[in-house]
Amino acid sequence: MRPVRFISPLLIALLLVPALTASAFPAQKDKPEPLNETQIEQIREAGINPNERVKLYTKFLNDYADTIKSLTGRAKSFARAKRLDDELQNMTALMDEFGSNLDTYSDRHADIRLGLKPLTEAADHWLSVLRALPGEPAFDVSRKEAIESGDDLAGQAKRLLSEQTDYFNIHKDERNQDRAEPKDR
């Protein structure tokens, strides 16, 4: 009878440890990594050049849109649905990251008008690809989130382009800068 009393708590503890470990770090497992190492290196190399970074993010999001569009025509399968779900989640994460970068550039009055013009056109293309994708239960939530992020990013880009055009028409001496520099008084 004693061995059973000893084994039961031990068995319960062994069963609980993996469950606790998995629930203790859910963000690490679920967070998509939207860029590969080569793309991350390209972003790093662009350094503090905001227009170059905007162009790179736009290019990477164009690649996601192209991949999603190419998967749309394939026969329905579990693998296709899983791949679409992954691509949509990665695209959403990248759009959100891109939006944060745009906020930073806007706050420091970096002149990103050259990058914003192609971005506004590309964002409309991404949204048309996402909206044309027929919803399926396996990736419908990811599709809706991608559309929301795309709408947010497209609106942000259009608003920033308008704001920057107005700002740099008033502050002509600050055109083509990476950040607003303090003025000598």
24 domain-assigned = no
Query: pTM to 2 decimals?
Result: 0.78
| Owning domain of residue 98 | 32-172
pLDDT tens for the 185 residues of the chain, in order: 555 554 544 444 444 444 444 444 444 445 668 999 999 999 999 887 899 999 999 999 999 999 999 999 899 999 999 999 999 999 999 999 999 999 998 888 888 999 999 999 999 999 999 999 998 999 999 999 999 999 999 999 999 999 999 988 998 887 877 665 545 44
DSSP one-letter code for 173: G
What does the angle CA 13 – CA 15 – CA 19 come to, to the nearest 5 degrees? 105
Q: What is the CATH number of the domain that holds 151?
A: 1.20.120
15 domain-assigned = no
Residues 155, 92: contact at Cβ < 8 Å? Answer: no
Q: Per the structure, how many domains does the chain have? A: 1
